[in-house]
Chains A and B, each alone.
Chain A
């Protein structure tokens, strides 16, 4: 196993501020989060489990059925603590996201903001042992990762686009993705093998499947769409097509790759 040890540090210097947070339905406009100690994060977790998990999930990874978004990565509606605070306080009109109770103190809303913030991994708070530069080189050369994965428009189509993978996967998850790619495979990357009524068999990545039809992309990037009733057989392989790199990469290689992948964000 890799020697990576990930230390997540919350370098939370509490700025002394003359801002006063009052109980009520205030909207935060220009303030950082003063309620961000581990105690606050834990209080936020408790509130989240009770009030928010029904839609966002106990793991805050969202729920396609309710339409509640994943809160563990980059947030689509807010890019700062203040933005998150305002959404919690005012809700999102026209959606099931209702405002919290009007009499909930701002301090508790901030604790919730702190908990949500703790779910996404701020790269500034993480020391990684690997080298981003070495990882980038490995990705394109010896590792041959770019034959399947695209970054910023360059690379293959047989795996997920990794241009912003650092926003949605933390270093531990990236490590698992490299060493044990079958552990967590999104259905988009399952493989389908289908044979039509004329006996023609095709295999490809599962672009989409529904009750009556399916669409795949084969190894040559051809897109195929079928009605299920046209098919004599449908086989689904719920595994990743990516090999494990346990044997082919050294621990330090893996460290470098993780550092590089984790650095891939919009701003970079």
Chain B
């Protein structure tokens, strides 16, 4: 807001008005015109330095979800009160992480809509409704997780596998590019990532026999700049890790947002399960680069290195987690690492310059692997692949964690993840690929009620891969995590709570019942010098702050 007041002040003085008078007469005076400054690449690289804004899905390019804001801290977080709520008009599941730039908040809504509101009041500037066909092919619900912004343009994925550019001041469509054919099973739900002068984005559809990829688009025109397939084609290294033609329908979707290291000029992106999910008989081999972390050149998209968490996956253990980048002390020296709590129940610390495996261990219950070998490759327990009759395996299909964002605190040096200790009976089926049809080869079934399983927020030391503390919740949660310089871990739960934990100890500091499932990650921002924290619950976006003086 300070930027805006600076712009507005000369105008007000010219009209013979003073800012305090305006503030008394009309509390909305500062938001008559959206007045944010254009979001340059420099601002995005240094996003950490303007913590009043939350300018991308994961807050900063390293995706730590750590905010330097400390007005709300351990001593006063229990005094938080609701400041406003925004009811999303389309009834569905809100998985959005809002973006805030200079007092304007951008909220994506199911199925593929976008609204701009005043970040202090939640009142609407404009709303964009994306027209969708009525025969979408989506696996797991109609949702959208957020936008990217560059300059004065917002970039949003849509369920019909388009990438849309929208004017941040008006909601007008600037361009609308078809990324892939939705009728072949492609869709898009994740927030894109700005890398320099490109819009980098992934694709969903891993349950439809797609071939996953990561794309970069020209933000001005929507033209495709490069595409890197997550499954190598014939003649490329790794193609021989697929039997026969199975690479063509091998999945490896890229359906969550990645991260970027400006110094190394590397983009980090996770890839999803190989297809068909639960029947590996038709795709023998390691199935590269499914269930992997890919490091891509920031200019060309060329693969610099890869790390496959689950070779030849037959349990749908997507590596669709947001990579968290940090420089940590490890065995006596500072290492540039990537931290990753995987759906397969193992936590990994990896050298992000080279892809070298440093540390790893199970952070949740699992029965499919004996452990990790010195290179980080899992040592499988024999006989745990799905059968026609069904076989009990942990973690279940939803995984020990999933797409929801983990967090990292620069104060504690700990990594935080929403985890689930569950098990499920896995089945396999024989299926032929048909374009646009599901291609999963099986499924799963719980044999116990959900309340019989254990869920928790876990804090992991990345230097040792060991759990430092855990906070039990119930039932299985899909809420992401945000940390702050106030020493707080903010997160939510499936039973409708939003709560704050002490980042160092896991002690509960505050909770409030919002009544509906939290299916998104919190974010924090400030306007006019006041810190707020926002979370979506059910169909509503809530914003909390401290009591006004």
Whether A and B are associated in the same complex: the answer reads yes
Residues of chain A with a CB closer than 8 A to B442's CB = 49
With A50-B431, A65-B476 in contact, is A210–B497 under 8 Å at CB?
A: yes
A209 to B324, CA, bound (A): 33
Query: Does A211 interact with chain B (Cβ within 8 Å)?
Result: yes
- Rounded to whole Å, the gap between the CB of B470 and the closest CB of chain A is 13
Query: Does A223 interact with chain B (Cβ within 8 Å)?
Result: no
Residues of chain B with a CB closer than 8 A to A211's CB = 472-474, 493, 495, 497, 499, 511
A58 adjacent to B445 (CB under 8 Å): yes
Residues of chain B with a CB closer than 8 A to A66's CB = 140-141
- Rounded to whole Å, the gap between the CB of A72 and the closest CB of chain B is 13
A98 to B134, CA, bound (A): 8
A54 adjacent to B445 (CB under 8 Å): no
Query: Does A181 interact with chain B (Cβ within 8 Å)?
Result: no
- Rounded to whole Å, the gap between the CB of B176 and the closest CB of chain A is 22
Residues of chain A with a CB closer than 8 A to B445's CB = 57-59
Partner of A229, one of B139, B450, B508: B508
A197 to B134, CA, bound (A): 56
Residues of chain A with a CB closer than 8 A to B45's CB = none
Please give me the residue from chain B that is nearest to A51 by CB atom. Answer: B438
Query: Does A24 interact with chain B (Cβ within 8 Å)?
Result: no
Residues of chain B with a CB closer than 8 A to A99's CB = 134-135
With A50-B437, A54-B139, A54-B207 in contact, is A209–B508 under 8 Å at CB?
A: no
A229 to B91, CA, bound (A): 34
Query: Does A126 interact with chain B (Cβ within 8 Å)?
Result: no
Query: Does B248 interact with chain A (Cβ within 8 Å)?
Result: no
Query: Does B275 interact with chain A (Cβ within 8 Å)?
Result: no
A98 adjacent to B136 (CB under 8 Å): yes
Residues of chain A with a CB closer than 8 A to B135's CB = 98-99, 101-102
A200 to B543, CA, bound (A): 38
Q: Which of B441-465 contact A (CB under 8 A)?
A: 442-445, 449-452
Partner of B449, one of A55, A65, A96, A187: A187
Q: Which of A188-214 contact B (CB under 8 A)?
A: 190, 209-212
B179-218 vs A, CB cutoff 8 Å, 1 = contact: the mask equals: 0000000000000000000000000000100000000000
B452 adjacent to A58 (CB under 8 Å): no
Please give me the residue from chain A that is nearest to B424 by CB atom. Answer: A58
A55 to B440, CA, bound (A): 13
Query: Does A186 interact with chain B (Cβ within 8 Å)?
Result: yes
A54 adjacent to B438 (CB under 8 Å): yes
B139 adjacent to A238 (CB under 8 Å): no
B437 adjacent to A212 (CB under 8 Å): no
Residues of chain B with a CB closer than 8 A to A50's CB = 429, 431, 437-438, 440
Please give me the residue from chain B that is nearest to A50 by CB atom. Answer: B438
B138 adjacent to A210 (CB under 8 Å): no
Please give me the residue from chain A that is nearest to B451 by CB atom. Answer: A187
Partner of A209, one of B134, B437, B474: B474
Partner of A51, one of B437, B474, B513: B437
B429 adjacent to A49 (CB under 8 Å): yes
B497 adjacent to A212 (CB under 8 Å): yes
Q: Which among B134, B440, B451, B478 has the highest number of chain A CB atoms within 10 Å?
A: B451
Query: Does B142 interact with chain A (Cβ within 8 Å)?
Result: yes
A49 adjacent to B443 (CB under 8 Å): yes
- Count B interface residues, CB 8 Å: 43
Please give me the residue from chain A that is nearest to B136 by CB atom. Answer: A98
Query: Does A241 interact with chain B (Cβ within 8 Å)?
Result: no
A96 adjacent to B431 (CB under 8 Å): no
A81-100 vs B, CB cutoff 8 Å, 1 = contact: the mask equals: 00000000001001110110
Interface residues on A, range: 20 to 34
Residues of chain B with a CB closer than 8 A to A220's CB = none
A238 to B454, CA, bound (A): 14
- Rounded to whole Å, the gap between the CB of A152 and the closest CB of chain B is 28
A211 to B499, CA, bound (A): 10
Query: Does B92 interact with chain A (Cβ within 8 Å)?
Result: yes
A190 to B474, CA, bound (A): 16
Please give me the residue from chain A that is nearest to B519 by CB atom. Answer: A65
Q: Which of A10-67 contact B (CB under 8 A)?
A: 46, 49-51, 53-55, 57-59, 64-67
Residues of chain A with a CB closer than 8 A to B452's CB = 187, 238
Query: Does B545 interact with chain A (Cβ within 8 Å)?
Result: no
B91 adjacent to A94 (CB under 8 Å): yes
Query: Does B90 interact with chain A (Cβ within 8 Å)?
Result: yes
Please give me the residue from chain B that is nearest to A213 by CB atom. Answer: B513
A51 to B443, CA, bound (A): 11
B259-289 vs A, CB cutoff 8 Å, 1 = contact: the mask equals: 0000000000000000000000000000000
Query: Does B436 interact with chain A (Cβ within 8 Å)?
Result: yes
Please give me the residue from chain A that is nearest to B478 by CB atom. Answer: A65
- Rounded to whole Å, the gap between the CB of A141 and the closest CB of chain B is 33
Query: Does B106 interact with chain A (Cβ within 8 Å)?
Result: no
Q: Which of B128-170 contact A (CB under 8 A)?
A: 134-136, 138-142
- Rounded to whole Å, the gap between the CB of A32 and the closest CB of chain B is 27
Residues of chain A with a CB closer than 8 A to B91's CB = 94
Partner of A58, one of B134, B139, B443, B508: B443
Please give me the residue from chain A that is nearest to B276 by CB atom. Answer: A50
A238 to B92, CA, bound (A): 33
A119 to B444, CA, bound (A): 18
A233 to B474, CA, bound (A): 17
B508 adjacent to A96 (CB under 8 Å): no
A210 to B497, CA, bound (A): 9
Please give me the residue from chain A that is nearest to B477 by CB atom. Answer: A211
B474 adjacent to A64 (CB under 8 Å): no
A186 adjacent to B142 (CB under 8 Å): no
- Rounded to whole Å, the gap between the CB of B489 and the closest CB of chain A is 14
Residues of chain B with a CB closer than 8 A to A102's CB = 135
Please give me the residue from chain B that is nearest to A68 by CB atom. Answer: B141
Q: Which of B406-459 contact A (CB under 8 A)?
A: 427, 429, 431, 436-438, 440, 442-445, 449-452
A65 to B477, CA, bound (A): 10
Please give me the residue from chain B that is nearest to A211 by CB atom. Answer: B473
Closest CB pairs A-B (n = 6): A210-B495, A187-B451, A211-B473, A58-B443, A58-B445, A53-B443
List B residues at the A interface (Cβ < 8 Å): 90-93, 134-136, 138-142, 207, 398, 427, 429, 431, 436-438, 440, 442-445, 449-452, 472-474, 476, 478, 493-497, 499, 508, 511, 513
List A residues at the B interface (Cβ < 8 Å): 46, 49-51, 53-55, 57-59, 64-67, 91, 94-96, 98-99, 101-102, 186-187, 190, 209-212, 229, 238
15 pairs, CB–CB < 8 Å, chain A vs chain B: A49-B429, A50-B431, A50-B440, A51-B438, A58-B444, A58-B445, A64-B450, A67-B93, A94-B90, A99-B135, A101-B135, A187-B452, A209-B474, A211-B499, A212-B497
